[in-house]
Chains A and B, each alone.
Chain A
Amino acid sequence: MLAVAGALLCAPASALELYDSFDKRRLQSSHWHSGWISPHALDVRRYISNGALNLRLLGVGDETTQAGRTVSINDVAFVDSVATDLRAVEMLVVVNEASAKSCSVDGNPSLARFRHWGRWFNDGSSSGPGDETGDFHSFIEVRKVAGQSENEIRFYAYRCTDSSCSSYNSPVTGSTWLTDVPFGTTVKLRTSLDLEAGTISFKAAVRNKPAVSRTFDYTSLVSAVQAPANPSYSHLLQARIEAANCSVDARKLPTALIDASVLRVRVERAQGAISETLPDSATGSDADGTDAPVGDDAPTTMAPAGSQSSGS
């Protein structure tokens, strides 16, 4: 315990501040844009439950083709005013359930994923909104792959080299695997961008396990750093299912499921305090069932900088 305390005291001051602890009755529209819910998302949940944001999704493969996988998505996005200058995102999350079943005949394995996905900046190559060329993206996720027993924590970062980001190059070398996490175990997942150093870092701290992290220098890939052409929906908390398509055995269509509870989100920003940049609606009430006085819906109190260690 002494060693842990010492580490806390000596740790460099973190600029992470609390963004949401999901302690209101409803998900606050002042903090989150509702995201996309795709076709093929049959069983889907996105709501506040027991002080957490529950994101759950079951997706089904396509029975008319054997090729590829069918993607389903359920996500929420940081509001634009916050997303535009994020430097780090950390979520405390529990995966309650995940499964992935593939087609009985060979093909792609089904995947179930829960992740933070971010579009951090553009390097100046984009011609405008809709052109992702030069966008720098990353994700960190808990992933269930059909046929594997463990829930993996994986990450990736990449610079898009075409307008739809169907091709890209990456500063990531070696394995993209960080660690494994059992169901029902809290894990802290953090992605941090250091513009001065030109690095992106991924960190996973599974409860009762040593934290693991990796850092990559992206400077050889990007020529400049500027705001992405399309700043909306740049940072997402996302349940994503990629269910194998299966035309040869339509009676047993592949399914994949992920159910995650996000307990807390902390962020680091380039400038300003969260409370100064949230939209005006933050001063009203979203709360259902009560006519709460103005201010009840205001952002939750900011945690003091450096108040938490991720356990490294």
Chain B
Amino acid sequence: MKTFFSGIALLALLVAPVASAQYEIYDSFDRSVLNSKRWLAGSVGPLGAVEYARYLENGAMRMHLYGVANRTSTTGSRVRLRNRIYMHPRHTEGLSAFQIRARVDSARVRGCSDPASDVTRARLFMDLLWFNDGRSTEVDDFRGDVFASIELMKSDTDGVSNDTLRIVGSVYRCEDSQCGVFGQLGESSELGQVKIGTTIDLSSVWDKSNGLIKWRAKVNGASTMGAEFEYLSYVPNPQPTHNTDYTATIQVRAEVADCNVAASGSQNPLATMDASIKRVRIKRQY
């Protein structure tokens, strides 16, 4: 675990060199509809996203997802539903930091009571495709692409109270050309927790010179929560990715366990989340 909340982290932030690039606003969502010059939308196949919404309202991007799963068999797996947008590849060059100001307005999960079932989760996260490990040879070949995510998450097994979300950072690497197979590098980092309804800044930074991915979570008036991931032991020689369509995504996910409701006596598993993204800021470093 590479986790810290301590005063040392705060001190480190305060003495960071001022020469680093400044955040610039990428989108403040103050138009009537999402700016197609800045974002691409992801598609959703007909699975189980019963309700789904993504739109601008009152200066924020509202994202909503409500999903259910297979209720006739407990498979040990789950339906993964995504509501996501991608930063337009025209603007991703030199990206070194990505930050969202977000508020989860509601989140609820109900898992399957069958012990053989998978986890049920509701997640708001941003995913950054920072680099490749050298294996990918062309666009749409995801082998070796390394993603870093930071998220606000609720799971039916995490034991935190209903009004609280975990803040988690993770790093993944694609192991086949479609990224159908992928593996986590190291372990997830728990940055801390936040109450539902709290506005929070989440950032993901690629510190190339130090071989670090840095995550920060900051609630106004509270000290910064942070974690770092040292990736050089996994990827000694990072290369640019070919897949710039997926450099930065913001998404709400509902992951709902398959569950034989009748046999297990379980209630229907579900996951739902409503989130507002108020702005996106970025840094570039060339």
Contact = CB atoms under 8 A, between A and B. Distances in A.
Interface of A: 26-29, 32-48, 56, 58, 60, 74, 77, 233, 253, 255, 257, 279-281, 284-286, 288-289, 291
Nearest to B40: A39
Interface string B25-44: 00000000110100111111
Given A34-B46, A42-B39, A281-B268, A286 B68 contact: yes
Interface in B34-60: 34, 36, 39-56
A34 B49 contact: yes
B52 A37 contact: yes
Contact of B53 (A40, A47, A233, A291): A47
Contact of B72 (A48, A60, A280, A285): A280
A284 B33 contact: no
B51 A44 contact: no
A264 B94 CA distance: 51
A37 B46 CA distance: 8
B270 interface: yes
A220 to B, nearest CB: 34
Contact of A255 (B33, B43, B54): B33
B52 A34 contact: yes
B34 A42 contact: yes
Given A42-B39, A45-B64, 6 more contacts: A26-B51, A35-B46, A42-B85, A44-B41, A47-B52, A284-B261
Interface residues of B, number: 36
B45 A60 contact: no
Interface string B134-171: 00000000000000000000000000000000000000
B178 interface: no
Give the 7 A-B CB pairs with smallest separation, nearest first. Answer: A37-B44, A284-B268, A47-B51, A45-B53, A39-B43, A60-B36, A42-B34
Contacts of B64: 45, 47
A34 B48 contact: yes
Contacts of B36: 42, 60, 253, 255
B132 interface: no
Contact of B68 (A29, A37, A58, A289): A29
B229 interface: no
B241 interface: no
A36 B272 CA distance: 18
A138 B36 CA distance: 32
A26 B66 contact: yes
B75 interface: no
Contact of A288 (B54, B66, B262): B66
Contacts of A27: 50-51, 66
A33 B46 contact: yes
B47 A34 contact: yes
A281 to B, nearest CB: 5
Nearest to A233: B46
B108 interface: yes
A58 B262 CA distance: 40
B112 to A, nearest CB: 12
A253 B67 CA distance: 33
A43 B54 contact: yes
Given A281-B261, A286-B270, A34 B50 contact: yes
B66 A38 contact: no
Contact of B272 (A33, A38, A60, A288): A288
Interface in B196-214: none
A120 to B, nearest CB: 20
21 contacts: A26-B272, A29-B68, A34-B46, A34-B50, A38-B43, A39-B41, A40-B41, A42-B41, A42-B85, A43-B54, A45-B53, A46-B52, A60-B36, A74-B52, A77-B46, A255-B36, A279-B71, A286-B50, A286-B68, A286-B268, A286-B270
B267 A291 contact: yes
Contact of B267 (A37, A280, A285): A285
B268 A285 contact: yes
Contacts of B50: 26-29, 32, 34, 286
Contacts of B40: 39
A72 to B, nearest CB: 9
Contacts of B39: 42
A257 B33 CA distance: 10
A299 to B, nearest CB: 15
B163 to A, nearest CB: 13
Interface in B167-198: none
B55 A56 contact: yes
A48 B267 CA distance: 22
Contacts of A257: 33
